[in-house]
Chains A and B, each alone.
Chain A
Amino acid sequence: MRRAGGSGLGTAAAVVYAGAIYAFIFLPVVVLVLFSFQDGRFPVPPFRGFSLRWYEALIADRYLTAALVNSVIVALVSSAVAVTLGFLAAFGLARFRLPGAGLQKALIVAPLTVSYLIIGMGLLITFNAIGMPKSLFAAGIGHVVINMPLCFAIVFSQMGAHQANAERAARDLGAREWQVLLLITVPMMGPALFAAFFLSMTFSWDEFIISFLLTRFDVTLPVEIWSMLRSGLNPKTNAAGSLVFFISVALLLVLELAVFGRRRAR
């Protein structure tokens, strides 16, 4: 039920305000997508006509497709590692009384308060010092550093008494620790783990500075787009951005439908 007391004027003001903010939020994306179809070299008005040539150029660009694959790999692998480590730590800290638990928690979430630039730079200097070359692998390590605290925090916040009881019941029935973890806790924590994984993927997918500092040729998509920006002004960059947008939105819709569908069915 809607709450009483919303005057007509108030509603109008609310609609106008929300509309203005939404317009602000959507403006750059609309412009980006529109001028990705620009038939000409300059992605600014006037719009000279509709063309798909920049998308063709994009698909022909093997550096870009390679970067796309790299981004997917890093996002999947680093998120899987981050969720695993974060989940185990959350389980350990939520279920057992360990000395210095507060300190351990603080240590694990500490990277959240530090800028990506500083984390990336620290890793760069350290890897240089031990002679480890720049690579996608190095960037992946960095992505785990930034995402693990987040995964830990999400999973830890969802560890409740409910699961603990189920775990205890399983143990009483003779299940081993790994069986409890894999067959009871993981499934019960499913939504939280999924959320953590999904969020990690998003951050890894979009992360720039760590990948920029730590990769050389096997760059990720944001780094490749950055160098595209620096190698010529044309709507190809628009096309790349739009394509990323379309893929992400499609992915989001699929997930949304899948999650929604399951929720309804329940």
Chain B
Amino acid sequence: MATVRRRGGDGLRPWAFVVPALLWTVAFFCAPFVVMAAVSLWERVGTDLVASWSFVNYAKFFARPHFLEAMANSLEVTAIVTVLSILLAYPLAWILAERVPERWQRIALICAILPFWTSYVVRSYAWLLVLANNGVINQALTGIGLIDEPLSLANSRTATVIGFVHFFVMLLTLTIYANLKQLPKNYARAAADLGASRFATFVHVILPLTLPGIMVGAFLTFVLCIGDYITPQILGGNSDLVMPQLIMLQIGRRADFPTASALAILLMVVVTLVYIACARWLKLERA
């Protein structure tokens, strides 16, 4: 629908609806961001914070290999997780939308969400138990004689990726499913009538039409994954640190807020760049 323009004389009244939300956002989102940006130009010297207004903390990021590595790790893990989750989720979403009888679909979806109603901290911990040397997976594999020595799964980047993929497969299945269900059935039928094989129909009709949905899901995955602290902290074995872990090290162990702020801003810059790259698929639309 189009915006309803009311007869003149509204005056300031419409603002009354919008201003509370705007004020909240300015006070508790924009202002903290400005404060953080300012603090990132300060410096931690011994136990004191010095307002030195320099780019020392940013220079530190580029000068120290283990800082740069954290960013590389973050990007790598996030990229692997995003791609893997999409690849695993798409077929499932398709099966749910096309192969499962209509009245079971809802139940199937609820079942997919169900395990995520455990607490998020607990979920990572549960994966640690599953992946441990004498955890369920290793015991099962040695039990059936597939391996002799337990696999080192827990406390590694592999564990982090598994923990992430677990959550994002569910999220992406929902997004892609919703997208598939919105496609008019007759598109696929029309393609078939025109002699396209099922594969060709998929590649040339279904996939392009669901691409925007995938992009939205992928971006969501990217943002949530790159900013997450819990999963890598619990599952990653404190090796191959990612940015949130590095940020928390600065805050938690030495109250070095300037360095933490600088790192956070650099992380935001990266997310923003990715957002700009995906922006044309990510418009907020009204139904």
- Listed in ascending order, the chain A residues whose CB lies under 8 Å from chain B are 2-3, 5-6, 11, 14, 17-18, 21-22, 24-29, 31-32, 35, 43-45, 85-86, 88-89, 91-98, 104-105, 107-119, 121-126, 129, 141-142, 144-145, 148, 152-153, 156-162, 164, 168, 177, 206, 208-209, 213, 221-222, 225-226, 229, 237-238, 240-242, 244-245, 248-249, 252, 256
- Which residues of the partner chain A approach B96 to less than 8 Å between Cβ atoms? 18
Which residue from chain A places its CB closest to the CB of B111 in the assembled complex?
Answer: A22
- Which residues of the partner chain B approach A145 to less than 8 Å between Cβ atoms? 24-25, 28-29
B284 contacts A27, CB within 8 Å? no
B20 contacts A85, CB within 8 Å? yes
B135 contacts A45, CB within 8 Å? yes
What 6 additional pairs, Cβ within 8 angstroms, besides A92-B18, A112-B223?
Answer: A25-B166, A29-B123, A91-B17, A111-B25, A125-B39, A248-B117
In the complex, what distance in Å separates the CA atom of A88 from the CA atom of B80?
40
- Which residues of the partner chain A approach B64 to less than 8 Å between Cβ atoms? none
B120 contacts A17, CB within 8 Å? no
In the complex, what distance in Å separates the CA atom of A158 from the CA atom of B261?
37
Asked if B229 is at the interface of the complex by the 8 Å CB criterion, the answer is yes
- Which residues of the partner chain B approach A248 to less than 8 Å between Cβ atoms? 117-118
In the complex, what distance in Å separates the CA atom of A142 from the CA atom of B97?
37
In the complex, what distance in Å separates the CA atom of A89 from the CA atom of B101?
40
- Which residues of the partner chain A approach B285 to less than 8 Å between Cβ atoms? 157
Q: Chain B interface residue count: which class?
A: 35 or more
Given A27-B130, A35-B129, A115-B271, the answer on whether A148 and B24 have CB atoms closer than 8 Å is yes
A32 CB contact (under 8 Å) in B101, B126, B234: B126
Asked if B161 is at the interface of the complex by the 8 Å CB criterion, the answer is no
Min C-beta distance of A169 to chain B, whole Å: 12
A95 CB contact (under 8 Å) in B3, B95, B110, B261: B3
B4 CB contact (under 8 Å) in A5, A22, A114, A164: A164
Given A17-B92, A117-B229, A241-B125, the answer on whether A92 and B14 have CB atoms closer than 8 Å is yes
- Listed in ascending order, the chain B residues whose CB lies under 8 Å from chain A are 1-6, 10, 13-18, 20-22, 24-26, 28-33, 35-36, 39, 88, 91-92, 95-96, 98-99, 101, 110-112, 114-115, 117-123, 125-127, 129-130, 132, 134-136, 139, 166, 169-170, 198, 223-224, 226-230, 234, 244, 247-248, 251, 257, 260-261, 264, 267-268, 271-272, 275, 284-287
Min C-beta distance of A155 to chain B, whole Å: 11
Given A25-B170, A121-B260, A222-B120, the answer on whether A110 and B25 have CB atoms closer than 8 Å is yes
A-B contact pairs, 9 of them (CB 8 A): A17-B92, A32-B118, A107-B30, A113-B275, A117-B244, A159-B286, A222-B120, A242-B118, A249-B114
B29 contacts A29, CB within 8 Å? no
In the complex, what distance in Å separates the CA atom of A147 from the CA atom of B138?
40
Which residue from chain A places its CB closest to the CB of B123 in the assembled complex?
Answer: A28
- Tell me the dominant secondary structure on chain A's binding face: helix
In the complex, what distance in Å separates the CA atom of A152 from the CA atom of B260?
30
Given A31-B126, A126-B35, A177-B13, the answer on whether A26 and B227 have CB atoms closer than 8 Å is no
- Which residues of the partner chain A approach B28 to less than 8 Å between Cβ atoms? 123, 141-142, 144-145
A225 contacts B121, CB within 8 Å? yes
In the complex, what distance in Å separates the CA atom of A50 from the CA atom of B250?
43
- Which residues of the partner chain B approach A85 to less than 8 Å between Cβ atoms? 20-21, 24
- Which residues of the partner chain B approach A245 to less than 8 Å between Cβ atoms? 117-119
In the complex, what distance in Å separates the CA atom of A89 from the CA atom of B122?
36
- Which residues of the partner chain A approach B36 to less than 8 Å between Cβ atoms? 118, 121-122, 125-126
B122 contacts A244, CB within 8 Å? yes
In the complex, what distance in Å separates the CA atom of A28 from the CA atom of B136?
10
Which residue from chain B places its CB closest to the CB of A42 in the assembled complex?
Answer: B134
Interface centre among B1, B31, B111 (most CB of A within 10 A): B1
- Which residues of the partner chain A approach B267 to less than 8 Å between Cβ atoms? 115, 118
In the complex, what distance in Å separates the CA atom of A117 from the CA atom of B122?
19
A125 contacts B35, CB within 8 Å? yes
